[in-house]
Amino acid sequence: MNATAELAIGQVAEASGVSVSVVRYYDEFGLITPVRRVGGKRRFGPDAVSRVTFVRRAQAVGFSLADIKTLLDDQRGRWPELVDQHLLDLRQRRDDLNMMISTLEQLRRCACEEVARCEHMVSADEPIAHPSKQALGSLTRQDRP
């Protein structure tokens, strides 16, 4: 590859709309790899921009970085399986969230003075939502500052 086609880390960051530290992190995670180093500084091939963009899109739909690495380097046609599994997880989380929301809506509609005595919360006959770990995990992540 000729040197003019190579990109400095700042150029990859700017072209893909992320910060330099994100590009560095993706490199350390093995999601992108510099073609060489010049004076200790990383030089990337032009495909680094599309890879970074892919990683951002895949993160935006909730894939883990480990799964994204598999998706990026997939040469055995495994990606449909990973996408299907992730769809199943997301649908389970959606169902869990809907259950949690409808329980809270029901509680909110109630006119009890003390929530701790509300029939919707204390009656043994009412179904109790058991959200999956994934649903709780996504809530916890959003709660972080």
Return the DSSP state at 126: S
Smallest gap from residue 108 Cβ to Zn ion (A): 10
76 or 117, CB closer to Zn ion? Answer: 117
* Sites for Zn ion among residues 81-120 (CB under 5 A): 110, 112, 118
61 or 110, CB closer to Zn ion? Answer: 110
Residue 138 has which token pair? 């996504």
Classify strands 36-38 and 7-8 as parallel, antiparallel or unpaired: unpaired
Total residues at interface with Zn ion (CB under 5 A): 3
Burial, 72: exposed, middle or buried (Cβ in 10 Å; 0-12, 13-18, 19+)?
A: middle
118 or 139, CB closer to Zn ion? Answer: 118
Which residue has 């495994």 as its token pair?
A: 78
Per CB under 5 A, residues contacting Zn ion are 110, 112, 118
